[in-house]
Structure 1
Amino acid sequence: MKPQFPMNHSALQIWSLTWPQMLMMFFNFLVGFVDVWVAGQIDHRVQASLGIITQSLFLFLIIVTAVSGGAVAAISQSLGAGKRLRADRYTGLCLAIAAVSGLALVGLGLPLRPLLVRALQVPQDIAPLTDHILEVFLFALPPYYMMLMQNAVFRARRQVMTPLYTMVLVTLVNTLGDLGLGLGLCGLPRLGVTGVIWSTFFSVTAGALFGLAVLRRGGILRREIFAPWRWARRALPYLLKVALPAGLLQVVWHFGYLVLFAITASLPQNSVVALAGMAAGARVESMLFLAAFALNLTAGILVGHLLGEGKPEEARRMGLHILGVGLVGIGLFAIALWPFLGDIAAFIAPNPAVRAEAENYLVYNVLAIPFTLTTLILAGSLAGAGATVYNLVGMGLGTWVVRLPLAYWLGHVVLGTATGVWISMLASQAAQAAILLYIYLNKDWQRFAMSKTRNGARP
């Protein structure tokens, strides 16, 4: 299956790879938004239970998130080197890992459900409901793993329209299921929370089946891509070298966010308002960074292909070129948005106190946009090279050495308000952007890429 876009350094080609991924993440956002909205229409306890499981979902997705990063690096570099059989075999290996790990998590998770619910500190009155939601989510893990891994494979092959079509299908099935089975619209039986969570299962299953069909139709999904163990044993070390730091980064980042949440929740003044403002501001912020995350993915794809072609300096320039495009495009958008931050906060948070705190949150996080963009785009470039250990170092230091200590000191000791926490977020974004920029410009991160003959690459 041929790449959809020629290798080109122009902003037009970068945009051609980025806009489908930006839309893909927008539809992914819609899935979660509709779930939460419908759950709120059913009962606040359903909304609370669904929120708990959704927030903890990252624990179950660590494996596929980490390995998919390795898949993009290995497959894109292989294609850049003209090693199509190697790319196909890495595709088969990553799909097999996704299938086995997804099924294994179901087998491990089902008997451990009560322990997991207790570990999440779920209130007793919603514990049985949360356990029921967790059970269905566990059954959804195998198709979820397959869908996410397939999307990574398509991105690595620069077939970015297929993940977009997948997420459109998932959003459509999930929304129809939520409204029809969850709320009983269109003459369907009103199943409440059962309808909502099974809609998630059916939607991700539809997405996984669609991806498999595209792989099959394109001639990629065939018996030959599942290589003998002798080859897989030589190929696995490179995947693990990329995946292990990426997985550890997920743990470091998410637990850092939980600690930041606890620091905000224990502020000496107006902690409840601060939490509500943080939640409202984060929703707006997630929409603002759709383009940034898409550029992160684009950087990984193009840098990986260029390194596979044996062009390390061109790969370095590509990452900087994408960074320039992002800083100009998203920077201009942020400037245009700045006068309306109060209006946006008022729309998402009607309560006056929460509205003021949400606006305060957005002020500091919009100021951080140049740093956040630098971090995300350079991290994508480093991931495309397989140098995920540098991302772990930069983001880990920014979170645990700068953000969290500064948040506690400013929020609890110096200012006593949420402003101290928001300042710490700005400072940590600046710190990790500086660290990654230094690494990108001064370290030999291209050495993490595969050569044409090693890491199980000879076939």
Structure 2
Amino acid sequence: MMFFHFTIGFVDVWVAGQIDHTVQAAVGLVSQSLFFFLVIGMAMANGSVAAISQSIGAGLQKRALRFISMVLALGFLCGMIIWVAGRLFKWQFLSLLQVPETILPVTGYFLDVFLLLLPAYYLMVVTNAVFRAQKMVLIPLASTAIAAVVNAFTDFGFGLGWFGLPAFGYKGVAWATFASVSAATAFNIVMLFRHGLLRPSSFPQLRWMRRALPYLLKVALPTGGMQLLWHLGYMVLFAITASLPYDSVNALAGMTAGMRVESLLFLPAFAFNMTGSILVGNSLGAGRRDEALRIALRLIGIACGSMTVVGLIMWPFIDPLAAFLAPEPAVTRQAVTYLIYNILSVPFTVASMTLGGIMTGAGATIYTFAIYSSATWLVRLPVAYVLGHLVWQDAEGVYLAMLVSQIFQSSAMLYVLLRRDWYRFSMIKRNNSRNTPGALPPLEGAKTNVRPTV
């Protein structure tokens, strides 16, 4: 699934680079902005993974179905609200990004299309999380494969005019993303109905939602805060790069190209992140704390070891990969420098991302929020500004700051895993105590030692 995510971003950036380097820079800015707008959806997805996987681990299938209906409704509603807000404050948002005048019209067009896509994108993110929590991982795999195929066909067809189709340039690239996400979302909704995971009878009553929502928010709010500050931090990083004293547009395009090559290494780390959240959530839901820790340690070892090997294999090919994705020499040089620093950070980045998934499965997202936010705002951005604007006065200072922040982030997350009581955030502990504030009501047919409260 992560490989297909990689191909979507890779094709977008390659096609944009064939059109013009200014389009490539605009794609980088707006793609990062899209992640910012998806913050709430990602937070709800993480909250739903914790709640659903722990419910399944505890044998509470009806509870899991009710959580599914609730998060889908909330996801679609939030997508609509953010779409409206984004349209109202579009130009103020672009101004905050410090978008250079040369790429402002293209960036504005991409933003219009991506905002229109938000409701469907929210549903795609949440439904994929629902299937992962159920261990039905082949459905998200098929969904992202559909998105990748549709995106590639429409990118090449309507972006560059291949297959006898009209070439619309950057507009074709923008609508390719819209078509691919919409197709994947439609597939997911059909699969939910087909597998009986979404039906009117499973939608919870308001009194159940009032009892269930606190735990969902307990997991989702720190995750949402972390995602907000993390992606806002990336936007500030782009703004720092866009306002560099020298060669800012080429630096933006090079960073965009470098990130797409880098994602070949780091998107698999998201796979380990998701695996950790599912397996740890199931283990804690069944009350097996020791098993949860063993799974966590094994995942970290496998993730860091395997992706470090991949990084070493990729190292000799940095130059040709950068040149393929960013053919203009000035942009190629920027992409190469970016990749050198970020391949060096592979063990640290993969470790922190895997640990983030482990904390999500346990419901201990407050640790992820505190550490990720500190690494971004107290380490990465100050170091990037000082090195990029005051010391070296070019983009290399920004890239070094990214490496330094990943070392800090992974070290702090590992300390939490080994030294802090992160197990206490799991939902099953709340359900075993009748007097626990906000404990969820037992469902019909669920095994419990206390009388139902609803």
What TM-score results when the alignment is normalised by the length of structure 1?
Answer: 0.84
Q: 1:266 to 1:85 in 2, by over 3 A?
A: same
Query: In the alignment, what sits opposite 1:18?
Result: none
2:283 to 295, 306, 315: 306
Matched, 1:379 2:363: no
- Alpha-carbon distance, 1:159 to partner: 1.0
Q: 1:39 to 1:377 in 2, by over 3 A?
A: closer
Give the conservation status (yes or no) of the 8 Å contact 2:124–2:188: yes
Matched, 1:259 2:243: no
Could you list the per-position Cα deviations for residues 308-357 of structure 1 after superposition, in whole angstroms to 9, with x for gaps in the alignment?
A: 11112211121111011112222222333344445544555556665555
- Alpha-carbon distance, 1:365 to partner: 2.3
- Alpha-carbon distance, 1:279 to partner: 3.7
2:211 to 234, 252, 270: 234
Query: In the alignment, what sits opposite 1:7?
Result: none
- Alpha-carbon distance, 1:221 to partner: 1.3
Determine helix, strand or coil for the equivalent of 1:221: coil
Query: In the alignment, what sits opposite 1:208?
Result: 185
Query: In the alignment, what sits opposite 1:172?
Result: 149
Matched, 1:102 2:79: yes
CA distance in 1, matches of 2:186, 2:333: 46
Give the conservation status (yes or no) of the 8 Å contact 2:26–2:107: yes
- In the alignment, residue 53 of structure 2 is paired with which amino acid? S
2:418 to 441, 446, 457: 441
- In the alignment, residue 41 of structure 2 is paired with which amino acid? V
Give the conservation status (yes or no) of the 8 Å contact 2:72–2:127: yes
Q: 1:275 to 1:100 in 2, by over 3 A?
A: closer
Give the conservation status (yes or no) of the 8 Å contact 2:28–2:252: no
Query: In the alignment, what sits opposite 2:195?
Result: 218
Deviating more after overlay: 430-439 vs 247-256: 247-256
Structure 1, unmatched stretches of 5+, are 1-23
Give the conservation status (yes or no) of the 8 Å contact 1:86–1:457: no
- In the alignment, residue 125 of structure 2 is paired with which amino acid? L
Query: In the alignment, what sits opposite 2:447?
Result: none
Give the conservation status (yes or no) of the 8 Å contact 2:17–2:327: no
Query: In the alignment, what sits opposite 1:78?
Result: 55
Question: Percent of pairs identical after alignment?
Answer: 50
Query: In the alignment, what sits opposite 1:456?
Result: 440
Could you list the per-position Cα deviations for residues 167-216 of structure 1 after superposition, in whole angstroms to 9, with x for gaps in the alignment?
A: 11122223333334444444445555554444433322221121111111
- Alpha-carbon distance, 1:386 to partner: 1.2
Query: In the alignment, what sits opposite 1:327?
Result: 304
Q: 1:324 to 1:63 in 2, by over 3 A?
A: same
Q: 1:422 to 1:147 in 2, by over 3 A?
A: closer
Give the conservation status (yes or no) of the 8 Å contact 1:232–1:456: no
Determine helix, strand or coil for the equivalent of 1:306: helix
Query: In the alignment, what sits opposite 1:362?
Result: 339
Query: In the alignment, what sits opposite 2:403?
Result: 426
CA distance in 2, matches of 1:230, 1:104: 24
Deviating more after overlay: 398-407 vs 77-86: 398-407
CA distance in 2, matches of 1:371, 1:127: 35
- Alpha-carbon distance, 1:236 to partner: 0.8
CA distance in 2, matches of 1:90, 1:143: 19
Give the conservation status (yes or no) of the 8 Å contact 1:92–1:225: yes
- Alpha-carbon distance, 1:268 to partner: 5.8
Query: In the alignment, what sits opposite 1:12?
Result: none
- In the alignment, residue 261 of structure 2 is paired with which amino acid? V
Query: In the alignment, what sits opposite 1:3?
Result: none
- In the alignment, residue 374 of structure 1 is paired with which amino acid? A
Matched, 1:282 2:266: no
Determine helix, strand or coil for the equivalent of 1:56: helix
Number of positions where the alignment pairs a residue of Structure 1 with one of Structure 2? 436
Matched, 1:64 2:64: no
Deviating more after overlay: 262-271 vs 311-320: 262-271
CA distance in 2, matches of 1:352, 1:138: 33
- Alpha-carbon distance, 1:53 to partner: 3.1
Give the conservation status (yes or no) of the 8 Å contact 1:69–1:383: yes
Give the conservation status (yes or no) of the 8 Å contact 1:42–1:192: yes
Q: 1:405 to 1:92 in 2, by over 3 A?
A: same
Deviating more after overlay: 280-289 vs 145-154: 280-289
Could you list the per-position Cα deviations for residues 114-134 of structure 1 after superposition, in whole angstroms to 9, with x for gaps in the alignment?
A: 555555555667666655544
